[in-house]
Amino acid sequence: MLTSKKIILVIGATGVQGGAVIDALLQPLADGSPSPYTIRALTRDPQSQRAKELASRGIEVVKGSTNDLDTVAAALEGVYGAYVNTDSFTIGEQKETFCGIRIFELAKQVKTVRHYVWSGADNVNKKTNYDPQYAPAHYTGKARVGDWMRAQPSVVSDDNMSWTILSTAPYMDMLQTGIYGPLRVRPDGTYVFASPFGQGHVPMITLADLGCFARYIFDHRAETSAQELEAASDVVSWDELVATFTKVTGKKAVNLALSIEEWFALFNQEDVARPAAPDTTTTFKETYSRIARLYRDDIITRDLAWIRRVHPGVRTVESWMRENAYTGDLRREAPQAGRRPRPNFERIAQL
Ligand SMILES: NC(=O)c1ccc[n+]([C@@H]2O[C@H](COP(=O)([O-])OP(=O)(O)OC[C@H]3O[C@@H](n4cnc5c(N)ncnc54)[C@H](OP(=O)(O)O)[C@@H]3O)[C@@H](O)[C@H]2O)c1
């Protein structure tokens, strides 16, 4: 189909992140005129419910997989931009590292791509002097690709390609699930939150804000060329988060600051003992212990003043709770609910 709009290929389009990016890219301009972008969505299964939903909105859906790079090359043909969110947990760190590099090269070879955006992650290896207790594979793969990209040219011109890295953070929307949200309500009505983060701070990003940052990047090609944007919506300790919950909902709540071992005992032990990705024996428990240590020990920080300058409407935990009429009652269909380990109800009942 001929279009004067800029086609953006979204890899990970049917996921929660890709969905938010697509929504933001299709937003009309401030004066009400239509968005300058149109979307090509890559999926392994065009017949999935999510892919059909995208197609029903008039979005071009193409079949492909990051496991088959010829399909990715075909999907890149003719696009102006690419938003690439490879799925660490499905493909594993080794493949993600290779795919991240190779998809960039394919984008350069295709010749139509002008702006390549990599959904990245903080380089926790560098930030901790390569301490393995802080190195979850879904950070290290994405960060390694980001480092490699920094060694590549980023050219802002009508006939060449620039790149930008958007390093994100845990989705605030996961407060709707058992990983971040309250684990139980005591008979006296107290909502029980539990975390392994101690007094540390967790940068979180709402999916809607993540979409806004992606849109900002495509709208500001020259400014964001060769840059890594470290995004978040808010940075909070769990005590602050729980106090905000009470302020917003009027409900009693408690934050149990647990050790990492105590926290994992709240989940099904078979689930947390599973490998976190197909190419590793590192378990879900070890992977998420590394994440817990990153936040507990304040390894990952964010410049909230810069973030609020770039995106003045960025949410806080409080505004996100108000906007979503957050009650603390968990939603089954919450983002990535299928990936979380099953709760250990016996242990949780004792909290
Ligand atoms: N959870 C968080 O807080 C968080 C925060 C920041 C970043 N991330 C990162 O985001 C990534 C996951 O994305 P998400 O959060 O949107 O998860 P999601 O909702 O589970 O979506 C996963 C997406 O990956 C696609 N996908 C999986 N394997 C693929 C393959 N071989 N080829 C092409 N597409 C494939 C799926 O597409 P189809 O099934 O349609 O093919 C789907 O669109 C992970 O790398 C994770 O580390 C997560």
Residues 116-142 have a mean pLDDT of 98
Residues 11-16 have a mean pLDDT of 98
- Give me 199's structure tokens: 């007094």
Residues 250-255 have a mean pLDDT of 98
φ, ψ of residue 327 to 5 degrees: the values are: -110, -15
In a 3-state reduction of DSSP, which class is residue 169? coil
Length in residues, the chain? 351
CATH of domain 6-169+205-230: 3.40.50.720
Residue 263, C-beta contacts closer than 8 angstroms, at least 6 positions apart: 194, 195, 196, 292
Ligand 1 geometric centre to CA of 233 (Å): 20
Measuring from atom 9 of ligand 1, which residue has the nearest CA? 87
pLDDT score recorded for residue 1: 54
Give the model confidence (pLDDT) of 151-187 as tens digits.
Answer: 999 999 999 999 999 999 999 999 998 789 999 999 9
pLDDT score recorded for residue 337: 53
**What is the distance between the alpha carbons of residues 238 and 197, in angstroms, rounded to a whole number?**
7
Ligand 1 probe mutation, 9, 11, 17, most atoms within 8 A of CB: 17
Any idea where the domains of the chain sit in the sequence? 6-169+205-230, 172-202+234-300+318-348
Ligand 1 geometric centre to CA of 261 (Å): 27
pLDDT score recorded for residue 3: 72
Share of the chain above pLDDT 70, in %: 97
pLDDT score recorded for residue 342: 87
Give the model confidence (pLDDT) of 25-80 as tens digits.
Answer: 999 999 999 999 999 999 999 999 999 999 999 999 999 999 999 999 999 999 99
CB distance 140 to ligand 1 below 6 Å: no
Give the model confidence (pLDDT) of 113-122 as tens digits.
Answer: 999 999 999 9
Residues 134-147 have a mean pLDDT of 97
CB distance 66 to ligand 1 below 6 Å: yes
pLDDT at 191 over 80: yes
- The two beta strands, 253-257 and 191-195, are parallel
**CA 124 from centre of chain:** 16
What's the CATH fold of domain 172-202+234-300+318-348? Answer: UDP-galactose 4-epimerase; domain 1 (3.90.25)
